[in-house]
Amino acid sequence: MLAYGTVFSGFLFNQLKQKKLKKILLVATGALTNSTSSQQGESIPGIAHAISIEI
């Protein structure tokens, strides 16, 4: 999630302030794993958080 915050607070936020963009949807994704997940041969569940920002 750190990379999304860095990109938003820099480039994308400036685009919003300059009114070049009206809406942004940020989606951070990841996998729910532990140290034995890859050895069990089962699918690995995923997770995503979405943030919608509009002016």
Sequence-separated (6 or more) residues with CB below 8 Å from residue 54: 22, 23, 24
Is residue 8 within 8 A of residue 24, CB to CB? The reply is yes
User: CA torsion sign, 27 to 33 to 35 to 40?
Assistant: negative
Measured CA to CA, the distance from residue 53 to residue 17 in angstroms comes to 12
Strands (E) across 1-55 are located at 23-31, 46-54
Supply the pTM of this predicted model.
0.61
Per-residue pLDDT of the chain (55 residues; tens, 9 = 90+): 556 667 777 888 889 899 999 998 888 888 888 877 777 888 888 899 898 999 8
pLDDT at 2: 57
